[in-house]
């Protein structure tokens, strides 16, 4: 039993670190779980350290991704035992990143006093790899645990979500170091005071930024009045052909009931679950509604195209800006697709009978990348569904000069715990780039968030409602937007310093 104890504690630590993520208590629970992990890794061999960190990640991700069971069982038609096995398999794959952390930490920080220098930087580097490798899956990076700490969140305009993750690891590394070293009480007090001073300074920076925000928002010249329509169409009915007209009527009716004037109306991802080219009468209805409310309608819908008569048709998950002309020219195609949800990786190697979990037999094609959607009042930064969880891609989009980020999504596929997690990630993109975020979700949570991360309005989950908010334009001139790519060099430099210091001792 004693031999199993470290493994059981590693599993426990992973669960504690993701408990009710993200909430006001997350910085404390995450610190507790991470401190326990770092203590367990101390003095372990490379292999044992990697194994314990893998178990931590397995528990952490299985609980954090548990909302996927709803997708797999209710909408994928997969039996509960197999769905659970698939969830654990995905979690095991993601746990390879903590395992990498565990494998490298003994080399970079073989002695406890090096933990505060090496552990936070190494964890952030592993998170960066998780965001980029094999299409990436950056759900629930640890920095999102600061979601309820508004002042601390403001440092995201300096270093993005990765700086917040570093700050989440730093207290754990310090406490683990103190536990392992058992220094004199005076030393414990001085190092703890230094940590509290750093947190106080960062909180002070956030307070200063928030205090400055009122002046900047009041002086905004390019504010627009935006309406969000949350149709709340049940996922079981959303793609039914018999439901298409009723869905259209609901969105048209709710849009016509919006208090006017408005500059833009936003509908969720695939709010229209049909091809407009195949339904010209439906497109004309939307154009007439746009004329009546005197505002364009930004909506999600599938699109179909081909480059020539002999070429195969290609399918896209699109965002279209529709006005009274009924033109389909103003269109953005999602470029970062969900593996197995929107396309099958290595399709040419997979049997044709193996289909994606979402509706339709055909795979979606990728759009051209993070590109702006032109609009005469200011360019829009389009983000469809989970594209908003990739910080570097959104930073690239923000750098094109867009005035607003717009995230349309359909979180009706997932369990309820996914909705606040997804919203927390979307909120960080607004703060990182100092751009307002307009978010329309089929079943919620829809919200408008200003460039300081504050909600200007919200429609709760599973509600059929609309929302009208005045949204100032952003400038996308944050330090992170301009220089965010250089932070990776800083994390690598900290790891190099830890390695050099180890060798010098």
Backbone angles phi, psi at 406, to 5 degrees: -125, 120
Active site residue 385: yes
Please state the domain count of the chain. 2
Please enumerate in sequence order all residues whose Cβ is within 8 A of that of 75, keeping only pairs 6 or more positions apart, or say none: 235, 236, 357, 358, 413
The answer on pLDDT for 289 being more than 60 is yes
Mean pLDDT confidence for 4-23: 94
Q: What is the pLDDT of residue 221?
A: 59
pLDDT at 356 over 60: no
Residue 407 φ/ψ, nearest 5 degrees: -110, 115
pLDDT tens-digit series, residues 488-498: 999 999 999 98
Look at residue 351 in the predicted model and tell me its pLDDT.
59
Query: Model pTM?
Result: 0.93
The tens digit of pLDDT for each residue in 16-67 reads 999 989 999 999 999 999 999 999 999 889 999 999 999 999 999 999 999 9
In three-state secondary structure terms, 437 is: strand
Whether residue 503 is contained in a domain is answered as: no
Q: Write down the pLDDT at residue 361.
A: 58
Q: Which CA distances in Å does 1 have to 5, 9, 381, 503? A: 6, 12, 55, 37
Catalytic residue among 356, 385, 403, 432: 385
Apex CA 14: angle with CA 28 and CA 393, to 5°?
Answer: 85
Please check whether residues 173 and 260 belong to one and the same domain.
no
* Chain length of the chain: 505
| pLDDT: which is higher, 81 or 360 | 81
- What does the alpha-carbon distance between residue 398 and residue 465 come to, in Å, rounded to a whole number? 29
Task: Between 128 and 367, name the one with better pLDDT.
Answer: 128
Identify the active-site residue in 191, 238, 334, 356: 334
Domain presence at residue 291: yes
Do 12 and 129 fall within a single domain? yes
Same domain? For 183 and 227 the reply is no
Domain boundary among 193, 217, 241: 217
Q: Terminal CA-to-CA distance of the chain, rounded, Å?
A: 37
Q: Are both 409 and 268 inside the same structural domain?
A: yes
Q: What pLDDT, on the 0 to 100 scale, is given for residue 412?
A: 85
Lowest mean pLDDT across 22-31, 298-307, 461-470: 298-307
The predicted pLDDT at position 12 comes to: 97
Region 63-91 average pLDDT: 89
Write out the DSSP string of 133-162. Answer: GGG---TT-GGGGGTT-HHHHTTHHHHHHH
Tell me whether residue 175 is in a domain. yes
| 244 and 108 co-located in one domain | no
Q: What is the pLDDT of residue 266?
A: 98
Count CB-CB contacts under 10 A for residue 375.
Answer: 19
pLDDT on residue 477: 85
| 278 in the same domain as 262 | yes
Instruction: Read off the pLDDT of each residue in 213-241 and give the average, rounded to a whole number.
Output: 81
In a domain, 164, yes or no: yes
Dump pLDDT digits (tens) for 201-226: 999 999 999 987 766 655 455 799 99
Q: What CATH number should be reported for the domain holding residue 330?
A: 3.60.110.10
- 396 in the same domain as 254: yes
Question: Do residues 96 and 53 lie in contact, with contact meaning Cβ atoms separated by under 8 Å?
Answer: no
Strand 380-384 and strand 404-409: pairing? parallel
- DSSP H helices in 182-243: 185-218, 235-238
CA distances from 136 to 93, 131, 350, 422, 443 (A): 12, 4, 21, 16, 25
Please report which confidence band the pLDDT of residue 353 belongs to, taking 50, 70 and 90 as the band edges: low
**In a shared domain, residues 47 and 120:** yes
The verdict on whether omega for the bond into residue 4 sits within 30 degrees of 0, i.e. cis, is no
Q: For residue 377, indicate whether it is catalytic.
A: no
pLDDT beyond 70 at 347:
no
What pLDDT shows up at residue 1? Answer: 62
Q: Report the pLDDT value the prediction gives residue 70, as an integer from 0 to 100.
A: 86
**Residues 210 and 235 placed together within one structural domain of the fold:** no
- Look at residue 218 in the predicted model and tell me its pLDDT: 53
Q: Are residues 369 and 457 in the same domain?
A: yes
| Whole-angstrom distance, CA of residue 425 vs CA of residue 226 | 21
Domain finish residue from 182, 198, 217: 217
Within this chain, do residues 190 and 245 fall inside the same structural domain, yes or no? no
Strand arrangement, sheet containing 404-409:
380-384, 404-409, 437-441, 446-449, 455-459
Question: Tell me: the pLDDT tens digits for 177-207?
Answer: 999 999 999 999 999 999 999 999 999 999 9
Task: Please say if the pLDDT value at position 349 is more than 80.
Answer: no
Question: 383: which strand partners?
Answer: 407
Catalytic, 334? Answer: yes
CA within 13 Å, CB half, 357? 20
Of the residues 191, 217, 243, the one at which a domain ends: 217
Q: What is the mean pLDDT of the chain?
A: 91
Q: What is the pLDDT of residue 355?
A: 60
Domain that holds residue 178: 5-217
Predicted confidence (pLDDT) per residue in 383-433, tens digit: 999 999 999 999 999 999 999 999 999 988 888 889 999 999 999 999 999
Percentage of the chain exceeding pLDDT 90 = 74
Spatial separation of the C-alpha atoms in residues 304 and 238, rounded to whole Å: 19
Q: How far is CA 94 from CA 70, 351, 390, in A?
A: 19, 25, 16
Q: Which of 8-12, 91-95, 413-417 has the lowest mean pLDDT?
A: 413-417
E strand or H helix at 457: strand 455-459
- Report the pLDDT value the prediction gives residue 312, as an integer from 0 to 100: 80
User: Which is catalytic among the residues 127, 191, 269, 393?
Assistant: 269
Both 203 and 321 in a single domain?
A: no
Residue 320: which residues within 8 A CB-CB, separation 6 or more?
276, 298, 299, 300, 301, 303, 328, 330, 331, 332
């Amino acid at each position: 039993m004693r031999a199993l104890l470290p493994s059981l504690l590693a599993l426990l630590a992973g669960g504690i670190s993701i408990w009710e993520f993200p909430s006001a208590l997350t910085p404390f629970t995450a610190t507790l779980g991470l401190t326990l992990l770092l203590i367990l890794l101390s003095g372990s061999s490379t292999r044992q350290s990697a194994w314990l960190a893998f178990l931590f990640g397995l528990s952490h991700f299985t609980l954090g991704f548990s909302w996927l069971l709803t997708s797999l069982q209710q909408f994928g038609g997969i039996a509960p035992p197999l769905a659970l096995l698939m969830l654990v398999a995905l979690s095991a794959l993601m746990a390879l990143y903590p395992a990498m952390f565990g494998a490298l930490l003994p080399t970079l920080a073989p002695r406890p006093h090096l933990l505060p220098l090496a552990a936070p930087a190494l964890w952030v580097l592993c998170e960066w790899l998780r965001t980029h490798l094999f299409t990436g899956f950056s759900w629930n990076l640890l920095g999102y645990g600061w979601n309820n700490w508004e002042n601390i969140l403001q440092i995201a305009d300096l270093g993005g979500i990765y700086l917040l993750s570093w700050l989440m690891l730093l207290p754990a590394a310090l406490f683990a170091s103190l536990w392992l070293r058992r220094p004199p009480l005076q030393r414990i007090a001085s190092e703890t005071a230094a940590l509290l001073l750093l947190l106080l300074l960062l909180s002070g920076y956030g307070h200063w930024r928030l205090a400055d925000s009122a002046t900047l928002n009041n002086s905004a010249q390019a504010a627009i009045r935006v309406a969000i329509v949350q149709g709340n169409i049940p996922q079981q009915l959303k793609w039914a052909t018999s439901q298409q007209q009723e869905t259209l009527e609901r969105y048209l009716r709710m849009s016509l009931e919006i208090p006017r004037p408005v500059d833009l109306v936003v509908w969720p991802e695939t709010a229209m679950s049909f091809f407009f080219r195949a339904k010209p009468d439906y497109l004309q209805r939307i154009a007439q509604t746009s004329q009546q409310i005197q505002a364009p309608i930004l909506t999600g819908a599938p699109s179909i195209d081909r480059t020539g008569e002999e070429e195969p048709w290609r399918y896209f998950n699109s965002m279209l800006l529709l006005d009274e002309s009924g033109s389909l020219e103003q269109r953005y195609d999602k470029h970062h697709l969900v593996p197995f949800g929107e396309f099958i990786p290595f399709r040419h190697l997979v049997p044709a009978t193996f289909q994606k979990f979402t509706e339709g037999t055909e795979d979606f094609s990728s759009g051209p990348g993070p590109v702006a959607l032109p609009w005469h009042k200011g360019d829009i930064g389009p983000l469809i569904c989970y594209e908003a969880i990739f910080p570097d891609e959104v930073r690239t989009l923000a750098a094109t000069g867009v005035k607003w980020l717009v995230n349309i999504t359909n979180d009706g596929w997932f369990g309820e715990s996914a909705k606040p997690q997804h919203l927390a990630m979307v909120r960080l993109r607004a703060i990182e780039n100092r751009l307002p975020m307009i978010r329309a979700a089929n079943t919620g949570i829809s919200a408008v968030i200003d460039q300081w991360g504050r909600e200007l309005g919200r429609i709760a989950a599973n509600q059929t409602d609309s929302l009208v908010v005045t949204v100032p334009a952003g400038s996308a001139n944050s330090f992170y937007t301009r220089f965010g790519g250089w932070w990776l060099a800083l994390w690598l430099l900290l790891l190099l310093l830890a390695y050099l210091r180890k060798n010098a001792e």
